[in-house]
Amino acid sequence: DAGVIQSPRHEVTEMGQEVTLRCKPISGHDYLFWYRQTMMRGLELLIYFNNNVPIDDSGMPEDRFSAKMPNASFSTLKIQPSEPRDSAVYFCASRTSGTGVTGELFFGEGSRLTVL
Amino acid sequence: KQEVTQIPAALSVPEGENLVLNCSFTDSAIYNLQWFRQDPGKGLTSLLLIQSSQREQTSGRLNASLDKSSGRSTLYIAASQPGDSATYLCAVPDQGGSEKLVFGKGTKLTVNP
């Protein structure tokens, strides 16, 4: 398997523009997570899905952020409108649900977002 | 809320040295603990996953231990090499056995040739 695939790898945009980040999880994985990483705050969970259903979005900073998972092989994280403080690396990760045992989490390479 | 602390924040050692990285967490009701490696500009790579019923897990030169009662884990790296230079992060489930993982801020390791 190719692993978790994210696009774009780098995005530079201006304040106020809409940003869409994309993720393809590993085939067969039924959990998908979106994390954000900054120097100041480290890795923060934004939202996660189980079987394409959003389970916990309490980490989403505000209404400007939204995430969807229309099918098992695709998810998007959208920021509209973007602000300079949204500049960070956004990671997508996926894993299987074991029989009572949680499996390893696999990360994509990340999308580095810079909002000017 | 689960909090994860990693000490030291940075470590520089000469090649060949054995070393220990530390991770502590506040809520001991965890079902597993994971250690990850992150290279600059890259995603996180899972190194070891220890189930709550285990006390340690080994992979090559890496050995991770888990002491749930004290809320601590260590990652032991034997005979370190320059290629081990990276940031190492540990992660545990959030309070209450959540599916959410809480990450430490990592230890940045530099192994000098």
How far is the first Cα of chain B from the last one, in angstroms, to the nearest whole number?
41
d(CA A57, CA A38): 19
Flag whether pLDDT at B98 surpasses 80: no
Q: How many C-beta atoms lie closer than 10 Å to residue B85's C-beta?
A: 16
Average pLDDT of chain A to the nearest whole number: 93
Find chain B residues with C-beta within 8 A of A109's C-beta: 42-43
For residue B83, report the phi and psi dihedrals to the nearest 5 degrees: -70, -10
Number of Cβ pairs < 8 A linking chain A and chain B: 50
> What is the number of residues in chain B?
113
Is B53 buried (19+), middle (13-18) or exposed (0-12) by CB count in 10 A?
A: exposed
Mean pLDDT throughout B21-46?
A: 93
Q: Find out whether B68 and B92 touch, Cβ atoms under 8 Å.
A: no
Q: Considering only residues 76 to 95 of chain B, which have any Cβ-Cβ distance to chain A shorter than 8 Å?
A: 89, 91, 93
pLDDT at B52: 85
Q: Which of A94-98, B30-34, B88-92 has the highest mean pLDDT?
A: B88-92
